[in-house]
Structures are given as structure tokens and as C-alpha cells.
């Protein structure tokens, strides 16, 4: 039997990281078992579903590389099939037409809540309190329709819903691949609605029918759906369909253990792209939020697909840790092909420079990139580390740079300028040799020579070793920057 998994988001908002992790787990399980990974857009909530959200989901999935094996299924297009199944259940006696109105149900709940509130009041005896609780209990219990065992409809051909007849006097068991075996009493399940009074299918029915028709063998989803599974199993059984395997994954929490929210960084998946994270880093980080394999910390999609298993998913909620995500992202930046990384960096370099960079500066940055890749955990951080390529002569030198370009330091800079100007080979190794020789000849430490030339070349901005910086800038630019600061010292008013 071919393993088939699915990711089934509702297009009522962006693809958030919890949904992205669910998609990732489904994708990897299908890959691990040489199966199929499918995508279903659950757009039956027409009031809240938007095309913008659909596009955002597809964009996020594509960015992460979680491509479905078939075209997306749109649940809203299958309403006729859902209704057909509901009518088949009525015909078999497993479902029934219910004429109880929403207003009647609301009145029932309100009556039960009022009686329960009265049972908490002061000034009544314990016997009265127990009697009130007993009276409230059936009104607040899972709904059992008076029409479940027949009964004539009210006069006037009223509208009706179709409800599943909930099982009685038994238990419902989920054999969960993550949570283990869990059972609840069937009395905890209501006569759930399959078709609403307007003829539209409910989520509970549509999900079961679609999973069956799509051949889904493994339903891997968040454990917030576990309660739904107990309500859906009776639908499978009433239709005579076999059950898929279920795996309910614990939710992602914030670093404080609370339910994940925007204050923890619970942003849409594409928001992380816009913050400068790489898709492979997001996948690797999301994978470790609730799953582990041996001592390996970071996986590519291909590596994970070779070892992924449902048994290795943790039962406890995972915690979002942005610092750890940054570490993972920094790892993948270092591993990234330089041509691809440069292409990704261009927009961030432009933003940092507040203008388009000229081709010569871009060329220099590209040459420096292999050495500079470890100087940022996100793309904007990495782009910022190249700032000295275009801002060395700015007037707003920091205090440390201004001090380095004064007094005896300027004299040393002038002497050093003469030395390096005649360097035959403008390469970092040759330039490093010139720097060391200069220090030796003039009996100076590098701590006396390095600060003024660093200040002149970078304007006090962070940068790596001086010899590579000089090579990247080139002979003309290096000497021009030194000359600028020497001239400024001679003519402070310029």
C-alpha cells in the first residue's frame, strides 16, 4: 500500500510556523516511505477564506521546498460529494434529519448555564444544590437530538440539518502514533452535524470524506485536532471505511512555556523569509521542534527524509527559540553556495546602502563573501557587515576611530602608506608580510599600527583582518581612503 500524507490548511490567514512544521512532517514521512504528499485547501468557510491566503500558503510551501506530488485539492469544490455521503448515512440509518433549530439549542444551553449558576448561589441547602446540578447536567451534556430515533418533523416542511447518530454505551479509541492509545466514552460525543440547514457540509464530514477519497493513509496534524478525531472515527465506521493511522503532534510553545503568540515570534512563514532567513534553515529548525534523531542537530531535507519517523516525535510541546533559529540560519549561510548567497544578499545590500551599489563595489563584495560568510546570522546582518565597503569616508567616525586617526598614529599611517604603495603583488599574503615588516623595521607592535589603518579603511566599522580588507578594496581604493584621512588631518576645516 502506498503511503499517502496530506497537509490541509484553512486559507483564513498566512501559513504560520506551526502549520509549516505540520506540512514538513507530512512531507518527510511520505518521502521516507516512498509515498505521496498531498495538499488540500480547506476553504469551506467561505466567509473567512481568501484567495490572498491561498496564495500565501502556496508561496510559503514553495519557498520551503515542500512541493505536493499532485495539484492542490480545494475542499469547497467537493460539496456535492460531501452531501452525497451525508445522504448515504441517512439511508443506512447511521445519520438522521434533525429539525432542532439553532435558537432552540441556544436556549437549551442558556437554561443549563442559568441552572448551573443557581447551584453555586449562597443560601441554598446541599440537597437543593445537588438537585440543580442534576437538572443542569443533561442540558449542558453533549447534545442528543430528539429525532435520532425517528419522530415526525414539525409541520410546515421546516429546514433540517443532517446529524450523525453518536454511538451509545461504548468507548471510542484512537491508536495514535505519537500520543499512544487514548479512549473516551462515547457519551462525550454529540450527535454532530454533517450537513447544515443550508445544505453545506461541516468540517467534520468534509475532512473524513476527503481523506478517504484522496487515499490518505496517515493523518499527521497538531494535537489540537485530537478531540476532532474522536468525533470523526464514528463517521469512518458508519461509512464502512477503514481508518487511517493518526499522529497528533504537540503544539509549539513560546520560550516561556505559554501558548505561542506573536510576542514569541509566531510570525507567518514568509515573514521569516522577509527577515532574512533561508528556507533550509527554517526546515532544519522546525524539524527539531518536536523531533530528534540521535546526536545530529542539523539536517537537510534529504538527510531528514532518510531517517524521519513518527515514533521519534516528542510528546511534550516544543519551545520556539529565536536564538537557536539564528544559530541554525548562520550554519546554512556558511554552507550556502556563494553565487546563490550573493543573489540573496543584493536586496539587503541595497537596503543597507540606501542606494544601488555600483558594479565595482558588488564585485569586491563577491570576492570577499567566502571569508565574510560567518559575520551574520541573517541576511540583513550579513549585508550590514559589508558596510565598510561603501562608507569608510563618512564624517560620523566613532570615537575610537577618531582617536586612532590623531597624533603619532597619523605619522605611522603616513609611513605605512608609503610602504604598501610599493607592494608588488596586491594580495593579502603579500600585504600581511608588508605590515609585519613595517612593524619590525620601526620597532612597533601591531597594536600601534593596526588601529589607524583600520580606522582609515573602514571608518571604525567592524571588519576582518586588515590584509584581506586591503586586497578586497584594491590598491587604488585603499590608498585613496588613507589619503583622504591624511588630507583631512592636514586641513581639518575641509
Supply the pLDDT for residue 266: 54
Ranking 8-12, 124-128, 207-211 by mean pLDDT, the lowest is 124-128
Phi, psi torsion values for 96, nearest 5 degrees: -150, 160
Q: Give the side-chain half-sphere CA count within 13 A for 303.
A: 12
Q: Which residues have a Cβ under 8 Å from the Cβ of 430 and sit 6 or more positions away?
A: 423, 424
Whether 262 sits among the annotated catalytic residues: the reply is yes
Supply the pLDDT for residue 463: 85
Residue 157's pLDDT band, with cuts at 50, 70 and 90, is confident
What average pLDDT score do residues 180-203 get?
A: 95
The DSSP H or E segment spanning 270 is helix 269-274
Exactly one of 259, 262, 315, 403 is catalytic; which is it? 262
Top-confidence residue, 95 or 270: 95
Mean pLDDT of the chain: 92
Predicted confidence (pLDDT) per residue in 380-389, tens digit:
999 999 999 9
CA distances from 235 to 86, 171, 182, 311 (A): 10, 14, 18, 27
Q: How far apart are CA 244 and CA 388, in angstroms?
A: 58
Q: Which residues have a Cβ under 8 Å from the Cβ of 412 and sit 6 or more positions away?
A: 442, 444, 448, 449, 452
What average pLDDT score do residues 9-32 get?
A: 94
Supply the pLDDT for residue 339: 96
- What is the value of pTM for the model shown? 0.90
Residue 406's pLDDT band, with cuts at 50, 70 and 90, is confident
Q: Report the residue count for the chain.
A: 494
Question: Nearest-CA neighbor of 28 among 46, 47, 10, 5?
Answer: 5
% of the chain residues with pLDDT over 90: 76
Amino acid at each position: 500500500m502506498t503511503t499517502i500524507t496530506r497537509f490541509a490548511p484553512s486559507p483564513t490567514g498566512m501559513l504560520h510556523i506551526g502549520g509549516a512544521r505540520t506540512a514538513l512532517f507530512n512531507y518527510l514521512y511520505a518521502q521516507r516511505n516512498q509515498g505521496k504528499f498531498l495538499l488540500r485547501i480547506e476553504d469551506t468557510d467561505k466567509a473567512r477564506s481568501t484567495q490572498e491566503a491561498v496564495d500565501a500558503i502556496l508561496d510559503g510551501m514553495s519557498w520551503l521546498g515542500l512541493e505536493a506530488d499532485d495539484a492542490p485539492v480545494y475542499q469547497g469544490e467537493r460539496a456535492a460529494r460531501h452531501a452525497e455521503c451525508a445522504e448515504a448515512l441517512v439511508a443506512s440509518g447511521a445519520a438522521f434529519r434533525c429539525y432542532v433549530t439553532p435558537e432552540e439549542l441556544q436556549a437549551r444551553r442558556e437554561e443549563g448555564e442559568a441552572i448551573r449558576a443557581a447551584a453555586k448561589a449562597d443560601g441554598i441547602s446541599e440537597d437543593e444544590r445537588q438537585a440543580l446540578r442534576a437538572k443542569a447536567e443533561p442540558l449542558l451534556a453533549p447534545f442528543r437530538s430528539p429525532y435520532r430515533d425517528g419522530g415526525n418533523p414539525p409541520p410546515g416542511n421546516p429546514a433540517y440539518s443532517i446529524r450523525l447518530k453518536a454511538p451509545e454505551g461504548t468507548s471510542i479509541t484512537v491508536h495514535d502514533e505519537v500520543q499512544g492509545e487514548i479512549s473516551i466514552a462515547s457519551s462525550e460525543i454529540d450527535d454532530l452535524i454533517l450537513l447544515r440547514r443550508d445544505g453545506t457540509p461541516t468540517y467534520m464530514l468534509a475532512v473524513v470524506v476527503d481523506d478517504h477519497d484522496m487515499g490518505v493513509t496517515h493523518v499527521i496534524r497538531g494535537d489540537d485536532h485530537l478531540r476532532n478525531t474522536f468525533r470523526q472515527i464514528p463517521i469512518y465506521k458508519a461509512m464502512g471505511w477503514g481508518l487511517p493511522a493518526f499522529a497528533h503532534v504537540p503544539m509549539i510553545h513560546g520560550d516561556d512555556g505559554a501558548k505561542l503568540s506573536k510576542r514569541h515570534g509566531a510570525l507567518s512563514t514568509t515573514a521569516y523569509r522577509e527577515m532574512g532567513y533561508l528556507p533550509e534553515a527554517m526546515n532544519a529548525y522546525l524539524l527539531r521542534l518536536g523531533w530528534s534523531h540521535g546526536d545530529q542537530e542539523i539536517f537537510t531535507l534529504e538527510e531528514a527524509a532518510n531517517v524521519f519517523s513518527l515514533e521519534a516525535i516528542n510528546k511534550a510541546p516544543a519551545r520556539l527559540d529565536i536564538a537557536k533559529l539564528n544559530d541554525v540560519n548562520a550554519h546554512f549561510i556558511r554552507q550556502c553556495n556563494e553565487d546563490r548567497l550573493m543573489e540573496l544578499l543584493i536586496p539587503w545590500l541595497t537596503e543597507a546602502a540606501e542606494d544601488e551599489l555600483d558594479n565595482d563595489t558588488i564585485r569586491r563584495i563577491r570576492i570577499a563573501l567566502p571569508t565574510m560568510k560567518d559575520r551574520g546570522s541573517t541576511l540583513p546582518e550579513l549585508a550590514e557587515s559589508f558596510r565598510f565597503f561603501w562608507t569608510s569616508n563618512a564624517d560620523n567616525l566613532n570615537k575610537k576611530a577618531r582617536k586612532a586617526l590623531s597624533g603619532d598614529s597619523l605619522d605611522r599611517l603616513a609611513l605605512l602608506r608609503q610602504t604598501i604603495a610599493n607592494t608588488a603583488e596586491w594580495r593579502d599574503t603579500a600585504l600581511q608580510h608588508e605590515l609585519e615588516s613595517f612593524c619590525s623595521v620601526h620597532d612597533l607592535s601591531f597594536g600601534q599600527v593596526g588601529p589607524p589603518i583600520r580606522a582609515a579603511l573602514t571608518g571604525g566599522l567592524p571588519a576582518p583582518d586588515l590584509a584581506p580588507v586591503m586586497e578586497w578594496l584594491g590598491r587604488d581604493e585603499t590608498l585613496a581612503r588613507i589619503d583622504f584621512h591624511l588630507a583631512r588631518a592636514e586641513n581639518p576645516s575641509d
